[in-house]
Structures are given as structure tokens and as C-alpha cells.
A and B are shown apart, each in its own frame.
Chain A
Amino acid sequence: MLSLRNLVKVYPGPVSALRGVDLEIPRGMFGLLGPNGAGKSTLMKILAGLLEPTSGEVTLDGLDIVRHPEALRPHLGYLPQEFGFYPYLTGEAMLLYLLKLKGVTAPRGLKALVAELLERVNLTFAAKRKVKEYSGGMRQRLGIAQALAGNPKLIIVDEPTAGLDPEERLRFYRLLAEVANERTVLLSTHIVEDVAMLCPRFAVIRQGRVVAITSPTEAKAAIQGTIFEGTASNAELAELQRTRRVTQAVLFEGRNRVRIHSTGSDVPPGFERVTPTLEDAYLLLMKDTREAPATSQPTPGVEAAREVAR
């Protein structure tokens, strides 16, 4: 169990990135969804031991990883949002080096393990190529291979499918789903579909706070029967945005395909009830929290944070 208690991060400025995050993340796949700048990557870096929080606690199975980040590292598989490798090493040598850094062992030896892992991420053909010659997707796959290596207790993947083609994305999902059976996998993304496909539970983070903790099923159930879809001209769309809760509006062949949320009976003409998606639920949540910012959790001041730091 990964537990986060009142996690605060203030950057010089000062600007706050996390304003008191509380989360209990159980074993299995857990999604972290939020818009750009919500604080997801900051949270990921703190969990990975790369960034010191201003205050708060993080424990993994009782282990305090804020005070002892080094204690977490043997149990961590981490795929950051942006990363690189030594350009002068081959993919095979790079992975081998990382396995050694992680202290990974395997019954058939590390070289065989490297070959296996490269096979899993479909990089066998490029094993002998220098990393500097890899495409973005290939580099991402090498990153995935290293994150999965060594049976880590906690896997943190930050925007992992960026740069992957659909086929590789599915292959990665399968790998993640497989490993998530025995450990905690924290998937940070802004792609709702990834969460919908993989995560039995997820948290939505916005403006440095957790605004919801739910599951895709619960989220969709909560808005079951309230989503309607229809088309509208630009003028009609403007009117709809003023008077209704528009979740999505996409311009398609000259007309706006619009989805609205409505609990009443005043559905605009031409709109039909549709099955809600997780994206609808997420967008509605974002809309709600934007319109009514949460104030229930007081934001610790810098002085309070300093007290915590002491």
C-alpha cells in the first residue's frame, strides 16, 4: 500500500504545485488523471524519490520514502515523462548497465534477461544499435523495459504511451496489466482512455489537489443517462455553452458534434441520450471543480510547511 498524507510541494517563486495530497493507493493498477500542470509529474517525482516535498508523508508498506528515498529505490520501477540514455551505448549495453545499477539478477544471467526484455518491448532488432540512433518510440520502449526489470514493488509510469504507436501501446498495456497483479502500478496520464482501459481505480488531481478518487465504472455510472449528443451550428453551440453543461464539442464536417450533460427533461431538440464515457465524467468533474474551487482543504502556508520540515 502506497500512502500519501497531506503532501505539499512549494517551488521557489513561491508557487505551489501540490496543496495537500492525500491518497491511499492499493496493490494493482492505479491511475492518476489530471490536466496539464495539475501537479502529476511533481507527485511522480516525489514518489520516485527525485524531488523532496515541502511537507507531508509518503509510505510504501509502512516505509517512509520521504525521509528514506534510498529505501524505495530497490523496489521501484520508474518511467519518467521525459528521459534519455547514454547516446554512445547500444540499447543492449544500456539496458545491461541499468540492470546492474538496479542490482537485478536472473537465473539465466543478465545478458539473457536483457535479450528477453528487449524482446518484450520489440527492440531485439535494435539491440546492437547505439541509443542515439533510436527513434522516440524505440527509446520509450527501452524505458519501459528498464522500468519493468527486477520485479519492482512499485512501478511509476508517467505518460508512458507518449510516442507509442497503437500496436506498441496495446503491447505495453498488456505488460502493465500483467505486472500489476502482484504490485502497485501508478499510471500518471492525461489520456483518459489509458485509465479507462487499465485502471480499476484512479484519482483525479487538479490544481495540486485530489478532487476525486473513483473507478471508471463508478465514474461512468454516476452520469449514466445524463449525457446527450447532437449537432449544432457555431451560434447554437455558443448558446448551448451559455445555457447548458457542454462536456465536449468537436467540429466535424462543418457542424459541431456536441455532448451535453443534462439531468432534467429540457434536452435540446435533436440531441439523443448516449452511453457516457469516462472522458465525459472527467470533463464534467473538471468543469465542476473549475466552477466551484474546493476550499474544504486549507492550503498550508510556507511557515506551516517549514514547521513540517522541522
Chain B
Amino acid sequence: MNVARLGTVVRTELSHQLRRPLFIILLLITFLSVWGLSSGNVTIESGASQVGGQKAWVTSEFAVSQTLLLLMFLLYTFFISVGAGMGIIADEEARVGPILHTTPLTPREYVWGKFLAVLGAYGVALAALVLFLVFFHHVVPAGENAEYRGPLSWLNYVRPALFFGVPMLVFFAGTAFALGEGTRRPVLVYFLPVMMLFLCAFFLWSWSPGWLDPRVNRVLQALDPAGMRWLSETWVKVDRGVAFYNVERVGLDALFVFSRLGFIAVGLGGVAWSARHVARGLRGAPVRDVRGKTLADIPLATPEGVTREETPLSTLGMRAQSPEALSGLWVVARAELRGLLSQPGLYLFMPIILLQTVTQALSKVGPFDTPLLTSSGFFAVGTMGAASTLACLLLMFYTVESLERERASNFAPIHDASPVRTVSVLLGKALANSLVGVSLLVAAGLAGSLVQLSQGQVALSLWPYVLTWGLLLPTFFAWTCFVLAARAVAGGRFGAYGLALAALCLTGYAAVRGNLHWATNWPLWGAVLWSDMGPFEMDRSVLLLNRVGTLGLAAFFTALAVRLDGRRAADSVSLLERIRPGGLLRGAWRLSPWAVVPAVALLAAAVQVGQGWQGDAAKKRAKEYWQKNLATWLDAPQPSIQDVDLDVELDPKGRSLRTRGTYTLVNRHAKALPSFAFTGGDHWEDVRWTLDGKDVAPEDRSRLYVFKPETPLAPGAVVRVGFEFRGEFPKGMTKNGGKVSEFILPSGVVLTSFEPSFAPVVGFRDDIGVDKDENKYEPRVYPDDFYEGLTEAAYGMGTPFTTRIRVTGPAEYTLNSVGVLESDEVKDGRRVSVWRSDAPVSMFNIVAGRWTVLRGEGTSVFHHPEHVYNVEDMRRGLDASRRYYSEWFHPFPWKELKLSEFPGLATYAQGFATNITFSESIGFLARSTPEANAVLLITAHEAAHQWWGNMLIPGKGPGGAVLSEGTSHYSAMKLMEQLEGPRTRMEIAKRLEEHYAKERYVDGERALVKLDESREGDTTILYNKGGWVFWMLEDLMGRPAMHAGLQAFLQKYVGHEDHPVLQDFTAAMRPFAPDAAAYDAFVQQWFHEVHVPQYRLSNAQVKQEGGQWVATVTVENVGDGRMPVEVAAVKGERFAERKDAKTPDVQSPDYRDARARVVLGAGEKADVTVRADFPPERWVVDPDVRVLQLRREQAVVSL
């Protein structure tokens, strides 16, 4: 290799790379990104600022590493891939090869020179990134973010750049270079970083279940080109405290070093391969099949022309007529398709996209992360987001390259002079490329169908696919046409990419900020929800407008592209004329007919959104409600409901209702109430009120109806407030589709007393009119003794009341509410069902649908006729819940327990007294595995809310909700063990533990008694840790004492005006604890503090002594907390494999264990020895899954 020639190539190419707009744009984006990120928002996982104390520095090596590798992966990999991968392709298109390769320049010098120049250019960019970071972290005034910034240490920047940045750059540059050189296909080059990003973001960086074998985890760490997984799993997920992360270096291990060297080697290897490939290419294609042949046997490449008598050309009878638009379109589309089919990238990327899309759809989980059955509609909707995003990226690359094909192959002069219409050419290309998106969907449909067939439960149906994915066709077509227009405007490949990516990013930004709505959501991101009970009912009209508008945009962009397409190169002088205001106006006027349809359709959609219940007008009214009433009514005392009498007429087809009713209110306060208030719904019309039977006009304070009786309501006094209204609910369309928690639709009705949807809510609602960006409250700070004295209820009325609810609806609907069914009549096609509470309730609801019912022992499951897969398990769960929870906790006071299904426009279940509601995707479509009966878990949890949440309403304040959700999880675990044996309970417990470990915020975790659900990560503590802690408490106290304590606790608080929180609970349980000291220690550790053990085994040995085996092991608690835990030497598998969740658990006869018990505090270790009369195969910590711990899978060691 001649260094001088190599240097010449490097210098020339480097100079070119550094001046490219591509490079300048990268620097600009980097600068802006670093500026945006320098505000202290990027912190390592351990550095939740809510904890107080020292803040995690954005300048630490850990934080810089994360920032740097994220920025580089998001930005640099794409730019360097294009820079490196397109080098040889651009030379080929410029046809410089024949001249270059006839100079003394060797292929190696040429290839390495180009590669080193690209690498050098992006090395400069990396240096710029480091300098930008230093500048914004240390030079720009930090202001309020000063506490997030540590002192300048250059090593904090240089080391991440070297260890994470350089290997990434070399890898991407080298592989993209090899890909571009080897295939000469730009699309492959562009898609490489995109696919790597998806692979990393959705798999390598995020998929890390607790059960994952550490060896596999290490392999995945080594396979991550960014090093993010290694950083996260090795350093960040293991909490070492903010101080550690702020000052310590990122310690490298052999795995990381070798994997980085591996990536560098792969990158450089790609370049070396390219050099050989170029050299081979210059020698011409290898000739095969010549063995045994002589030259005479091999035909000439160009045989002698055969002279023959030729007839004049005129005898051929050729005629030409401009092809019609459609026939031209067909010709172009067919040729394009042929071209597309010859693209190897299509066969590479389609399966990857398919895999990504299908995996994402199939990995969607139900409540408590239970798996779901695959059904056509839910699968189709589940794939929409990923399919539209990835397909749009693919379409962008293929469309631009398709448009560039004529120019790149130099076919443009002939092609552009042909009479085929420009519109045919552009639309033909758009159509052919859109078919890529269609084929992606067809393939995804096949994959989904196969999964459905393999599950063998949900019947296969094609029309949900056709209906749902049919909605995406305008998106694909409009996007492709937009790309056509972008290229026509920009005039070239990179300009087109820039415009198209900018449009995509802008849409993504709007989506993330929550600013997308039906008039702007052209890709339908997050807008479409599926329900087997009636698809797209909520927003049907605005969805139609959106699709018409999107198709109209396709036509508009096509017209724009046709107008601007550079088939005839515009003259610069006349171009100046055209871009003058007058010229632009004339151009716009000519295009205006094409803008009519999209403008009208999208404007109409915008109007519908604006007038809808999530529109600006509604938002403004809600804000007015908040502004006008907050100060006066937030904590104003209100009378309590004593009785509810409602008459609700439902019109599901018209999405409306009419309510007449009466609340009997009583003043339970010690003082007279001069006034009281009700919150009304924004959808209410023709509202009338009465007070003790007389018409009144309360003060309407933006839907807070304030009553001022002539005489203040004395303590204990009763007043009857009557009301009447009608309305459409929800009013109008949503803003951008998505979930709706209450609704009246033909497919079903679900209404609750939490919202003023079908009945007034007593008092002021502090969540109405609150915008997270404008007037969100700070979490309320409660004093430590807040629970002393009377604590108000966390939700619902403080004291239970009686109800009589008369529901009228179409005859084919079943109309369910709380209590018992007093009467059910059908007259004139209308059903009238009257429900009366047979025991007081604290909340009420209405749910209606066209169902089939399965009845149990005092229980019923009302379900969509096709959703029969799990109803038997649900009935079983309800029956068992009634029976066992009544035995264990408190007698069930009501006669019936119903469970009703509603359309999956929201994913929740609510346990109103006697009337539980499940969204269709909860329970009804849950998929049980042989290890865990998901249906039973969900049903048992929701049924438990009859006790924990209805009979006992927790108090308002920190830790209160644990008495609702944690106790329900605990109840469900108990019930599952009762019904299905210990294995099911153990599997469920492990799953909850795994979710707790994965979703908790290490430094941000608060004790159960401090949990107020205001932070991310609180939910998993509330449910999973909460459930576990009650389970461990039962282990500590013993089952009889626990039951006795719980019964006493419920006895005390059911129906009581004081509502308990955890402090009340632990106080109530203490007298029942056999060992008060142990109980206190447990309560302190698990309720008042945050500790989690993590056990590690080492030095495991076994030796035979006589007829016995002596096994030893060292157990260490590398986590936190002190718990007695069993350690077992084990032989064989404990449970036999089960075919499905219904097969009874049987302990394997070959299973044996010998156990010892240790109590280890943080950092403590102990040697354990057991004698066994069997040869043990492994040591296991906590074989019965009784102690909550981290990384349970690592607390096993083979002997």
C-alpha cells in the first residue's frame, strides 16, 4: 500500500465529507440536542431527584456515557452509515471507476482511503459532540440546574467517547461500507442503522426478564453495538447510590473490552472484505462451468451480425399514441414492482420488520402482565403502530431510490422524453412502493393467523384484518405521495430524505407531546382501538374524515409532485419568476383544487375534535370549573349520600342517556352546612334540579351546581335533591382516538359514579380541569400522624348508602347495576331493569351489553357471545372468591356477584359492589399458561376488591391504596394456592416479584406507608410488593392468626366513617401476632422502610459419607433487609410438567430436598451444611418462594 496515494485519497474524501450538508446537519442537530439535554433531565436510573439529598450529576462518567451513546446511536450511526455506505455507490453513479482504477491507485488504497476519511470525518463529529457536552455542562451558566453538575473532568468525556463512541463508529462505518460496496444498493445502507436502532431499542436494551440466564444476558450484552445493555446491567441497575455514580469511573470488564474489540474488528473486517471485493470486481466476474470445455465450445459474447434482407421499418406498422394515464400507470407500476422484487434488501428487511411488528403485537400483555390470546382484531390493531412506522421508513427509502433510479442509471434522458405522463410515472411508482407496505401487512396477517391457529382458541377471522389494516392504506399511499412531493421540491435524494424524515420526526414529536389529533394524525398512531363487540364505534365519523383527508393529501402531494417534478429541467431565470410572490400565488392557485378535499375533510375533523369532549372548548370549560371553584370548594364539607334513586334511560345507538333521580343527603358533620355542591357533566343538557321536591335553580359555577338552602343544613338533617338531564356521552369525538373509560355505545355501556356521567357527583372534583403542563398539583404532603382521628375515604362516599337504580334500554341489552335485580321487564322493545342494593354500597355503576350469561353459585359472568374462552375459569374464580374470601376475611353481604364485559376501549376492571366490570381484553382474552392461570389471577384479584375496596374503603393518604391493591393481590395468591396448589401460587409470586424488581426505581422507591402513587414506579410497589408483603406477613404470623387479625380489622372498619391506612392496619394486626417483637421488626422493615434481600450462593460442595450425602454452601445476602429464609439441597424437578393450567399440580415422586434456615442481614453470609439421604443436584434459596428477593434465578447453584 502506497502511503502517499492513500493519503491523497483520504485528504480528498475527508475534504468532501467535511463539506457535505449531511455532515453540517449532523453537527447542527448534535449541537441542538446537547443544548436540549444539558438541562439536567438526563440522569442515571439511580439518580431520581425526588429522593432529595445529592443529585445525580449529568457530568459524571456514567451520565456522560449514557448521553453520548444514546445520541450517537440515534444520530451518528445513521449519518456515518450513509457517509460510509454511499461512498462507493456515489463513485459508481459518477462513473469515475474506469479512470480511477486505471491509475496506479490500488483497490486497497482506494477502499481504505475512503473508509478512513469517513471515519476521520465522524471522528471529528465525535470530538465536536464531546466539546458540545463540555461546553453546555461546564461553560454555559447552569442556573437552577447547577446542582446536577459536577466539576469538570475531561476523562468523564474522553473515556466514554473512546470506549463507547469509537467502537460504534468503526462498526457502523465498516459494516455500512461493506454493505454499500457489496450490494451497491443505497436502501440497504439506509436501513442498516434504522433496523439496528429498532433491534436495540426494542430488544437488546429493554428485554431483560428476571428469569433470563445470566450467561445469555452476558451474550446479549456483548452483542449490543452501543454497549448500553452492558452499562445498564453491569452498573446502572445495581444501585450503588448517587455518590458512587457521580464520582466513580465506569469500570470495564473483559466482556466489554473484548466485545468492543470485536465490533471494531467486524467494522475493519468489512472494509478489508470490501477491498478484496473491489479488486475481484475489477478482474471481472468469475467464470464457472468451463472445466473440460475448449474455446470453440464457448459461444462468443458478441456473435457476428447476420446480414439479411431487411424490410423497411415502415412495414412494421408501428404506431404511437400517448399512453392514457391509467395504462401508463399500470406499465410503470409493473416495472417498478419488478425492480422492487429484484431488491435483495426487501427480502432482508421485510422479515425483520415482520418479526419486529409481530413480536411487538404478540408481546402485548393484559393486567398484571398476563399474556393475552391472539385475536384477529386485537392483533391487527396491535401491529398498526409498528407497521405504519417501519413501513413508512421502508417506503421512504424505496420510493426515493425508485425516483432516483432513472438518474442513477442514466436512463433519465430517454425516460423523461417518453410520452408517458408524469402523473402515471409518479403514481405508478407510488402504487408499486405502497404495495410493499401492503405485502408487509399481508405477511403480518399470515403470521398472526398462524399464531391464532397454534393457540387453538380464538376462531380465525379475516375481516378484522381487512377492516383495520385497510385503514392504513391511505397512510401508506399518502406517505409515498408525500415522499414524491418531497423529492420534487428538494430535487434530489438527500433533500428528499431530509424533508421526509423531518415530517416523520415532527409527527413523532407531536405524538410524544400529545399534540396529535384526528386532523393531523395521518399515520393513525395510537388512535385506533379494537373491540370484537363493535369496532371503531367511538370515532367512526372523524376516522372516516381522517382517512378521506389523508387520501386527499395523497392526491394533493401527487399534484404537487407532478407540478414540480424536474422531468424538464427548469430554467433558472423562469424559476426566479416562479418563486416570486406572484408566481408562488399563481402556482398555489393552480394547485388549490387538489387541496380542497383534504382541507375540507381535515378541517371538518378538526372542528369535530374541537367540539368534542377532549377539544379545546371542553378543556376551557373544565379549566373554568377548576379556576372558579378550587379555592372555595376544594375541602369544603359536603353532605353524605344516604340513598340514591335513579331512573336512567339509555340509547346506545344514539350514544345518549336521560337521567332522572334523587339523592337523599344527610349532614354527618358537626356543623351546619350553609351550602353544598354537585359536579355535573359537561355533556349535560336541559338540566333541572329540585330541592325537597321543589324546583330550584342552583348557582351554576361552570358545572359546579351550588345549593344554598334557605336554612343551613343542620347536623344530622336530611335533604332530597332531585335532578334531571339528558346528553350524549361522551360528547362528540375524542381528540386522537385512544382509550375512553366510560361511554354509551351500541356495543356496550359502562358508566360509574366516579364521574358525573349518568349522575351528579357530590362536591368538587379536584382532577377536572387539571393539565399536567399548566396547573398540575404538587403531591400533597401528609404529616406522619395524618391517619390519627377520622380519615376520609380515598374514593366514593365515606359511608355506604342504599340505591335503587332503574335502567331502561333496548330489549336486546342486559342492563346491570349494583345490588339485586328487583324486576326485569320488556315492553315495546324496551327493557326496564330495576336494581336495588340489598346491602349498602359506597359507589354504583351501570354496565349494559348484548351478552350471553354463565351463572355460578350466586355469581354470573355476562360476556360477549363469542368470548367464551375463559368464562368457565372466571365463574370458577368468582364462586371460589365468594366462598373463601367470606371464610377468610368477612362474610359477603350481598346476594349476587356479577362480572360483566364491556368493549375494550379502555383496559381496566372495576369492582363495584356486586357488579364487577371487565374490559374485553382483561380476563376474557387472557391466555393462561401451564405454569400460571392468568384468568384466575385476574378474576381473583378483582373479586377481592369486593372486600378490599368496597366493604373496606381505604383512607385517603399515603399507603391507603395498598389496602386495596396489595391486599387484593395477596388474596388472589391465597385463592390460587387454595384452588390450584402451591405451584401456581409460587409461579404467580415469582412473576409478581419479577415485575417488582424490573419496574421499581431503585433510589426512588418509597416505603409502603409513604406510597402516594405520584411517582413512576409506585404502581409496582403498590400491587406487587404490597401483595408479597401481606403474604410474608401471613407467613410470619401463621395463617390462623393472620385470618383472625384480618377479620377483626375488617369488622372494625367496614361501614365505618374512619377509613384505615397501613398504620391502622398494622396496629390492628399486632395483637394477633404470636411474636410481637418479630412482628414489629417485620412491619418496620417492610412497611416503614425499603429493604429487599438478594441472595448469592458460593462454595457449593457435596461429599458422600457412608449412606448419606453432606452438602455445603455459602449463602450471602448481597442485597438488603433481614429475613429468615430456607436454603435447600435439592434433587430432581419438584413438579411434573403440565399440559395446561387446568391439569392438577402433582409433586414429582423423584423430587427430594433437605433444608436449612438462615437469617442474613445486608452483606452477611453464612455457611450452610445439610445431610441428605439422596445425592443433591443443586442448592436453591427459598424453595417455596416465601421471601421477596431480587434476582431469584441467581440464587441457585448446581452441585
Partner pick for B320 among A84, A117, A152, CB 8 A cutoff: A152
Query: Once the chains bind, are A106 and B331 in contact (CB under 8 Å)?
Result: no
Q: Of B310, B415, B568, B576, which contacts A69 at CB under 8 A?
A: B568
Find A106's partner among B301, B317, B420 (CB 8 Å cutoff).
B317
Q: Mark B297-323, 1 if CB is under 8 A from A, else 0.
A: 000011101100010111011111111
Question: Is A271's beta carbon under 8 Å from chain B?
Answer: no
Determine if A196 is an interface residue (Cβ-Cβ < 8 Å): no
Binds B, one of A43-51, A238-246, A258-266, A274-282: A43-51
The answer for the CA separation of A14 and B647 in the assembled complex, in Å, is 83
If the complex has contacts A51-B568, A178-B312, are A74 and B322 also in contact, measured as CB distance less than 8 A? yes
Is the pair A49, B568 in contact by a Cβ cutoff of 8 Å? yes
B777 at the interface (CB under 8 A from A): no
Chain A, residues 104-136, CB within 8 Å of chain B (1/0): the string is 111110000100110110100110000000010
CB contact under 8 A between A12 and B572, given known A74-B321, A83-B414, A101-B331:
yes
Question: Do the beta carbons of B322 and A73 come within 8 Å of each other?
Answer: yes
CA–CA, A29 and B317, complex, Å: 21
Q: Contact check, B569 vs A80: say whether CB atoms are below 8 A apart.
A: no
A73 to B338, CA, bound (A): 25
Distance of A143 Cα from B420 Cα, bound (Å)? 17
Q: Report whether B571 and A54 are in contact in the complex, using a CB–CB cutoff of 8 Å.
A: yes
Check A306 against B417 for contact (C-beta < 8 Å): no
A118 CB to nearest B CB, Å: 12
Q: Is B342 an interface residue (CB 8 A)?
A: yes
Contacts of A302 in B (CB 8 A): 573
A25 to B357, CA, bound (A): 62
A138 beta carbon closer than 8 Å to chain B: yes
**Interface size, A (range):** 35 or more
- Cα of A54 to Cα of B148 in the assembled complex, Å: 61
Rounded to whole Å, the gap between the CB of B161 and the closest CB of chain A is: 42
Q: Does B1138 contact A (CB under 8 A)?
A: no
Return the chain A residue nearest B408 by Cβ: A84
The answer to the question of A253 belonging to the interface, with a C-beta cut-off of 8 Å to chain B, is: no
- A292 CB, min distance to chain B CBs, angstroms: 30
**Cβ-closest chain A residue relative to B574:** A309
Asked whether B302 lies within 8 Å of A52 as measured between CB atoms, the reply is no
Contact status of A83 and B413, CB under 8 A, knowing A120-B313, A182-B314: yes
For A70-98 the 0/1 string (1 means CB < 8 A from B) is 10011110111011111111000100011
Nearest-CB residue, chain A, relative to B300:
A125
Do A175 and B313 touch (CB < 8 A)?
yes
Our pick among A52, A79, A82, A305 for the contact of B570 (Cβ within 8 Å) is A52
Q: Which residues in window 396-441 of B have CB below 8 A to A? A: 405, 409-411, 413-422
Complex CA gap A221/B86 in Å reads 57
Number of residues from B at the complex interface, CB < 8 A: 49
Whether A88 contacts B573 by the Cβ 8 Å rule is no
Interface: B819 (CB within 8 A): no
> Are the C-beta atoms of B414 and A310 separated by less than 8 Å?
no
Q: Name the contact of B571 in the complex, choosing from A53, A76, A135, A146 (C-beta under 8 A).
A: A53
CB contact between A97 and one of B310, B335, B417, B572 (< 8 Å): that residue: B335
In the bound complex, do residue A103 and residue B570 qualify as a contact, i.e. CB atoms below 8 Å apart? no
Main secondary structure of the interface of A (DSSP, over half): mixed
> Is A9 in the interface zone, CB < 8 Å from B?
yes
B418 & A101 in contact (Cβ 8 Å cutoff)? yes
- Chain B residues with Cβ under 8 A from A87's Cβ? 409
| B328 within 8 Å of A (CB atoms) | yes
Which residue of chain A lies nearest to B425 when distances are taken between CB atoms in the complex?
A101
Contact between chains at B318 and A106 (CB < 8 Å): yes
- Chain A residues lying within 8 Å of B411, measured Cβ to Cβ, are 83-86
Q: Which residue of A lies closest to B410 (CB)?
A: A84
Chain B residues near A50 (CB-CB < 8 A):
413, 416-417, 567-569
B568 CB contacts on chain A under 8 angstroms: 49-52, 69
- Scoring B residues 273 to 317 as 1 if CB is less than 8 Å from chain A, else 0, what string do you get? 000000000000000000000000000011101100010111011
A306-B577, A309-B577 in contact; A101/B323 too (CB < 8 A)? yes
Nearest Cβ in chain A — how far from B1043, in angstroms? 77
- With known contacts A74-B419, A178-B313, A98–B414 Cβ distance under 8 A: yes
Q: Which residues of A contact B418 (CB under 8 A)?
A: 73, 98, 101-102
Type the 1/0 row for A168-212, where 1 means its CB is closer than 8 Å to any CB of B.
100100010011001000000000000000000000000000000
Contacts of B470 in A (CB 8 A): none
A171 → chain B, closest Cβ, in Å?
8
- A9 to B571 Cα, complex, angstroms: 8
Contact A143 B574 (CB under 8 A): no
Q: Does B709 contact A (CB under 8 A)?
A: no
B1074 interface contact, C-beta 8 A: no
Contact A101 B328 (CB under 8 A): yes
Tell me if A101 and B420 are in contact (CB < 8 A). yes
Question: In angstroms, how far is the closest chain A Cβ from the Cβ of B405?
Answer: 7
Q: In this assembly, does A150 line the interface, its C-beta being within 8 Å of a C-beta of chain B? A: yes
Which residue from chain A places its CB closest to the CB of B570 in the assembled complex? A52
Contacts of B415 in A (CB 8 A): 101
CB neighbours (8 Å) of A168 from chain B are: 305
Instruction: State whether the Cβ of B858 lies closer than 8 Å to any Cβ in chain A.
Output: no
Q: Of B319, B410, B413, which one neighbours A151 at CB under 8 angstroms? A: B319
Across-interface contacts of A146 in B (CB, < 8 A): 414
A103-B413 contact in complex given A69-B568, A98-B418, C-beta closer than 8 Å: no
Question: Is B339 in the interface zone, CB < 8 Å from A?
Answer: yes
Cβ of A48: which chain B residues have Cβ within 8 Å of it?
413, 417
Given A74-B322, A167-B305, do A306 and B313 touch, yes or no (CB 8 Å)? no
* B407: nearest chain-A partner, CB-CB: A84
Q: Which of B218-235 contact A (CB under 8 A)?
A: none
Contact A89 B338 (CB under 8 A): yes
In the complex, whether A149 has a CB less than 8 A from a CB of chain B is yes
Tell which of B305, B413, B574 touches A82, judged by Cβ atoms closer than 8 Å.
Answer: B413
The answer for the CA separation of A22 and B306 in the assembled complex, in Å, is 43
Query: Is A63 an interface residue when CB atoms closer than 8 A count as contact?
Result: no
Q: Is the CB of B421 within 8 A of A70?
A: yes
Is A11 close to B, CB under 8 A?
Answer: yes
Q: Are A122 and B339 in contact (CB under 8 A)?
A: no
For chain B residues 552-588, which have a beta carbon within 8 Å of chain A? 567-574, 576-577
Contact A101 B317 (CB under 8 A): no
- Closest Cβ neighbor of B330 among chain A residues: A100
Complex Cα gap A117–B302 (Å) = 17
Nearest chain A CB to B867 CB, angstrom units: 51
Q: Confirm or deny: A148 has a beta carbon within 8 angstroms of a beta carbon on chain B.
A: yes
At the interface, yes or no: A213 with Cβ under 8 Å from chain B? no
Once bound together, how far apart are the Cα atoms of A138 and B301, in whole Å? 11
Q: What A residues does B577 contact at CB under 8 A? A: 306, 309-310
* Chain B nearest CB, measured from A130 CB (Å): 10
Contact between chains at B419 and A88 (CB < 8 Å)? no
B422 CB → nearest A CB, Å: 8
Q: Report the bound CA distance from A11 to B420 in whole Å.
A: 28
Q: Answer whether A150 and B322 are a contact pair too, CB < 8 Å, given A49-B568, A86-B339, A102-B420.
A: no
Closest Cβ neighbor of A122 among chain B residues:
B305
Residues of B within 8 A of A120 (CB): 310, 313
A249 sits at the interface (CB 8 A): no
A10 within 8 A of B: yes
Q: Is the CB–CB distance between A149 and B322 below 8 Å? A: no
Minimum CB–CB distance from B307 to chain A (whole Å) comes to: 9
> Hey, what's the 0/1 contact readout for B866-891 against A, CB within 8 Å counting as 1?
00000000000000000000000000
Central interface residue in A50, A79, A119, A120, by most chain B CB within 10 Å: A50
Minimum C-beta distance from A27 to chain B (A): 15
Residues of B within 8 A of A306 (CB): 573, 576-577
Q: Is the CB of B572 within 8 A of A11?
A: yes
Q: List 12 A-B contacts (CB under 8 A).
A: A10-B572, A10-B573, A51-B569, A51-B571, A54-B571, A97-B331, A105-B318, A135-B302, A148-B313, A149-B318, A302-B573, A306-B577
The 4 closest A-B pairs by CB, nearest first: A84-B410, A150-B320, A73-B419, A80-B413
On A, residues with C-beta under 8 Å from B are 9-12, 14, 45, 48-55, 69-70, 73-76, 78-80, 82-89, 93, 97-98, 100-108, 113, 116-117, 119-120, 122, 125-126, 135, 138, 143, 146, 148-152, 167-168, 171, 175, 178-179, 182, 302, 305-306, 309-310
